[in-house]
Amino acid sequence: MKEVFYVKKKVAVIFGGRSVEHEVSVITGMQVIENIDKTKYEVVPIYINKDGKWLTGNSLMEFKSFKENNLKDLKEIILSPNHGDKNIYAHPESLGLFGKKIIDKIDIVFPTIHGTNGEDGTIQGLFELMNIPYVGGGVLASSVGMDKILMKDVFKANNLPIVDYTWFYRSRWENNKDDIIKNIEEKLEYPLFVKPANLGSSIGISKAKDRESLIKASEVAIEYDRKIIVEKSVENPREINCAVMGYDEEIITSLCEEPLGWEEILTFEDKYVKSNAKGGKSSGERRIIPADIEENIRIQIETIAKEAFISIDGRGTSRIDFLLDENNKVYINEINTLPGSVAFYLWEGKGYPFKKLINELIDIAIKIHEEKNENMYSYDANLFNRIQYGGKVRAK
């Protein structure tokens, strides 16, 4: 009997990036590399450093290389945007006299870059041009989910519950901030939250309780983005988060969680330094999973989470963050199309340990890619022969 060899698919796990969430992305990337099914997939690690250089090497497979700053074997690389080109090329400057031009070849991409240039649709555009399967939201879902203003506009158009908000450009603030302040105060009542439109992890977000703190909060926010959103605060809220997974209308929901230890806003440290719980309903940890909420509230949150995901054409897994006011009214705070740690802690209690979750996300990426390639991308209109030089169309 002839022995059958199973060829593993090569998965490029891409992490890092030119983003304020660089370190968070490295952690998520390392978690995916550690938990991916090694019997099915071979990992090709790709690290984008803070200067924007794309690098690969064996030292990227272990987190201690980052902790000990021991990244010594890295080669600078390039991915081509050419349709169907799945090769990893050596950067000309790192090629050397006898170096190989093609370093490796990949079958699937698993991006784990949070924030700018990774979660906002830009890197997804490269994968679309390459025509390669990739995990997570597409260009549109990623860009809409990243921009808090467009995101809330879409949610509002779909009658999903959001707090009142307004927004402004940095350039307008610099030229006429008095008009902006007046407009904000006419539309919204204090207290308010002021946020950069295109950042996550609570970076650049401040609470404004009066005009003086509004000015200070806006000055902080414009350091991080050219678009600023101002939202009405939900006072004394509970934050409840729920993840969804799937694509089109084939969607399932995770357990709900309630982060602990915050009064007004979770800081970057609250989210990524202090929060190390892996699940389990325990008030001694930084989050309670499953959240201690009434059944009707849970159902409402799960329903809205699915609707929010569908409204932006989400794919893969996303975490939707909610606020519950003192009367248990539910508001969507935001959607995270690439949640930290891929929100594995919300899926474990639903029968998806990390390895199985990664397998499912890759399977979804492959299905979406196959479906996309069923589309027709050419149309023979014989246009060149119907138009004379100068733009006039010939009569038939």
Write out pLDDT tens, residues 203-214: 789 999 999 999
Residue-level pLDDT at 279: 39
pLDDT band at 276 (very low <50, low <70, confident <90, very high): very low
Q: What is the mean pLDDT of residues 315-338?
A: 96
> Is residue 311 one of the residues assigned to a domain?
yes
Residue 364 and residue 250 in one domain:
yes
End-to-end CA distance of the chain: 66
Residue 218 and residue 258 in one domain:
no
Q: Is the pLDDT assigned to residue 389 strictly greater than 70?
A: no
* pLDDT (tens digit per residue) in 4-33: 456 899 999 999 999 888 999 999 999 999
Q: Alpha helix (H) ranges present in the chain?
A: 22-35, 64-67, 92-95, 122-130, 139-146, 148-157, 170-187, 211-221, 268-269, 295-311, 344-347, 354-372, 383-386
Which of residues 200 and 281 earns the better pLDDT score?
A: 200
How far apart CA 115 and CA 122 sit, in angstroms, is 11
User: Whole-structure pTM over 0.85, yes or no?
Assistant: yes
* Burial of 79 (C-beta count, 10 Å sphere; 0-12/13-18/19+): buried
Residue range of the domain that includes 181? 164-232
> Is residue 157 one of the residues assigned to a domain?
no
> Is residue 194 one of the residues assigned to a domain?
yes
How far apart CA 288 and CA 186 sit, in angstroms, is 38
> Is residue 80 one of the residues assigned to a domain?
yes
Residue 255 and residue 335 in one domain:
yes
Residue 219 and residue 260 in one domain:
no
Rounded to the nearest integer, the mean pLDDT of the chain is 89
Q: CATH code at 221?
A: 3.30.1490.20
> Is residue 286 one of the residues assigned to a domain?
yes
Residue-level pLDDT at 282: 38
Residue 228 and residue 244 in one domain:
no
> Is residue 301 one of the residues assigned to a domain?
yes
Residue 261 and residue 308 in one domain:
yes
Q: Is the pLDDT assigned to residue 277 strictly greater than 60?
A: no
Residue-level pLDDT at 204: 87
> Is residue 144 one of the residues assigned to a domain?
no
How far apart CA 72 and CA 324 sit, in angstroms, is 48
Residue 349 and residue 250 in one domain:
yes
Of 213, 232, 251, the residue at which a domain comes to its end is 232
Q: What is the mean pLDDT of residues 97-105?
A: 81
Q: Is the pLDDT assigned to residue 380 strictly greater than 70?
A: yes
Residue 216 and residue 286 in one domain:
no
Q: CATH code at 246?
A: 3.30.470.20
Q: What is the mean pLDDT of residues 326-342?
A: 95
Q: What is the mean pLDDT of residues 274-280?
A: 43
Across the strands, what pairs with 226? none
Which of residues 7 and 229 earns the better pLDDT score?
A: 229
Q: Is the pLDDT assigned to residue 302 strictly greater than 60?
A: yes
* pLDDT (tens digit per residue) in 65-95: 998 888 888 999 999 999 999 999 999 887 7
Residue-level pLDDT at 319: 98
Residue 87 and residue 186 in one domain:
no
> Is residue 385 one of the residues assigned to a domain?
no
**Using N-to-C axis directions, what is the helix angle for 22-35 and 354-372, rounded to 10°?**
100
Q: What is the mean pLDDT of residues 366-387?
A: 84
Residue-level pLDDT at 303: 98
Residue 216 and residue 327 in one domain:
no
Q: CATH code at 129?
A: 3.40.50.20
Residue-level pLDDT at 263: 55
Residue 207 and residue 112 in one domain:
no
Say how many domains are in the chain. 3
Q: Is the pLDDT assigned to residue 271 strictly greater than 60?
A: no
Residue-level pLDDT at 378: 74
Residue 106 and residue 193 in one domain:
no
